[in-house]
Structure 1
Amino acid sequence: MRLLNKFITLWNMVEQVQLTPGVPDTFCWRLTADGQYSASSAYGAMFVGSSTPLGAKLIWKISAPPRVKFFFWLVLHGRCWTAHRRCRHGLQADDACIFCDQSAETMDHIILGCVFSKEVWETCLRRFLLHGLVVVQEMGVMLWWTTSRKRLPKEIRRGFDSLFFVVGWLFWKERNARTFQRLASSPAQLLDIIEQEISLWCAAGYKHLVALDARRRSG
């Protein structure tokens, strides 16, 4: 029945075509205004109907070192080799978080959901006078970041972006230090490391982070 319906539809389409004897056939490329083929229009057609992941474009606009941006690009696409991902691929027996040993070690958990991470975040947000922001464990990393920045005044949003990248990056480095080197920092020690990293970024000329840090010191 389906085949018959397709045949009828095709037949109706063919019946509507009017051929003019003596007139040569012409080709028209519908993806350009002038009807001419171009490689760029063909490439663009590959993405028709596609969607952009939350925060994908914003990542590359943040004032941060390229390697940190690339790290968050991997976070966005779920390509970091967390314990959860390694366990899912059969590379280790369990997926427990290296910080708390209470939940599965995903990037959402490492950066936001873990009790260790939450303690560091609460102190960090308080130090930078970002009292209106609250870490929500149930939210994904990218959703929390993009939602939180919209709650801030425009003049400090890009500074908060850089701060978010600093903290998230150092959570990952702390996780790797514990996993591969058996070296662990307390929340207070990690906060000191974050302060040092922020100072380095400010010295390197990341002006939005400099402005956020100056706002903290003046407040």
Structure 2
Amino acid sequence: MSWALQIRWLWFQKTDLNRPWKGLDIPVHSNAVALFHISIVSHVGQGTNTLFWSDKWLFGCSLAELAPSVVAAVPIKIRQQRTVAEAFMERQWPRDIQGGFSLVWLYEYFQLWDVLLEVNLSEDNDQHTWRFDGSGSFSTKSAYQAFFNGAMTFEPWRRLWKAWASSKYKVFLWLAIRNKCWTVDRLARRGLPHPDRCVFCDQADEDIQHILTDCVFAREFWYKVLAPVGMPANTPGQDDDVFAEWWKKARKHADKTKRKGLNSLIILGAWTLWKHRNSCVYEGVRPCIQLIMREFNSERQLWHLAGPDRCRL
């Protein structure tokens, strides 16, 4: 968000010449500068407010994209200051180029020369378009979202990270939903010691999705958790073998006034199942519904005392 707000400064610096701080050095993070440069397309009029070497003004591209070898031979200071108007004044732009030449450089240079001969400046002001908004104008929201383009999505993020629960429970469930917990399947792939089957039911191969929803022991546990709060129908069924999908469905079927409480309840229930499973694996405890429910209810009472009213069921 900080970077998105910094880009707002750069946008005003580019489009509003009446800002009193115009021309001053603005402390902007390099990531914000990089996003700004790839997000702005300039339409040249007089060419006084468009940088010749670095802005995207020729066919929607920058010269660095069209002739990278030529631009690499221009000092950075000149790239950051030379405007289109100055570059065309008495053909100043070829004199900006310094450094050794190559066959690739010569090819790019003559191609660029031919293209620039067809450019004609006008009396209109330069116009700048923000690519990440349909209106063409900058918004902090679109800049913020642009930082996440190409990022991996995590569908349950809102009901997980916005829920009322301690961070350690949320991190555990984040790992569980992404199948990153050290269950039998994960241990076996790495050649580490592991139980042969699920310690709860001794009927199936164990993975974290099985432990939290698909196991008959887990389903009985969830029924005993949800029945007292009037939601027995939300207990995982035989077709519910993915925890995140079951959670999404259970929340959708719950009354809107109870959804915040249900999120906290499910997070606590998943954590309790995981702890009970570890006690069975590492401490020799036998799976027991009565024992796990005592552990769950004890912890739930503490959450009930500490949590806000809107997160209680």
Tell me if both proteins adopt one fold, taking TM over 0.5 as the criterion: yes
Distance 1:21-1:118 versus aligned 2 partners, 3 A rule: closer
**Which residue is 1:205 aligned to?**
307
Asked if 1:80 corresponds to 2:181, the answer is yes
Give SS of 1:144's match. helix
CA distance in 2, matches of 1:117, 1:81: 18
1:21–1:105 CA distance, 2 compared to 1 (3 A): same
- Hey, what does 1:215 align to over in structure 2? none
* 2:199 counterpart residue number: 98
Residue 62 of structure 1, aligned match among 156, 163, 166: 163
- The residue that corresponds to 1:217 in the other structure is none
Q: 1:45 to 1:90 in 2, by over 3 A?
A: farther
Query: What are structure 2's unaligned runs of at least 5 residues?
Result: 1-111
CA distance in 2, matches of 1:167, 1:56: 18
The superposition leaves residues 176-211 of structure 1 with CA deviations (integer Å, 9 ceiling, x where unpaired) of 11111212351012111111111010111243343x
Q: Number of residue pairs matched?
A: 193
The CA distance in 2 between the partners of 1:166 and 1:18, in whole Å, is 69
Q: Identical aligned pairs, as a percentage? A: 29
Q: Report which of the two structures shows the higher radius of gyration computed on alpha carbons.
A: 2
Question: RMSD of the TM alignment (CA)?
Answer: 3.2
Partner of 1:134: 235
Residue of structure 2 in register with 1:166 after alignment: 268
Cα displacement (A) at 1:29: 8.0
SS at 1:118 equivalent = helix
Identify the residue that residue 191 of structure 1 maps to in structure 2: 293
Q: Give me the whole-angstrom Cα distance separating, in 2, the residues matched to 1:93 and 1:199.
A: 34
Contact 1:109–1:137 (Cα < 8 Å) also in 2: no
When residues 163 and 18 of structure 1 are mapped into structure 2, their CA distance, relative to the original with a 3 A threshold, is farther
Assess if the C-alpha contact under 8 Å between 2:159 and 2:263 holds in 1: no
- Structure 1: segments with no counterpart, 5+ residues: 1-13, 213-219
Question: 1:123 and 2:245 equivalent?
Answer: no
Amino acid at match of 1:193: E
| Partner in structure 2 of residue 149 of structure 1 | 251
Whether the aligned pair in 2 keeps the contact of 1:84 and 1:94 (CA below 8 Å) is no
* 1:104 aligned counterpart, secondary structure: coil
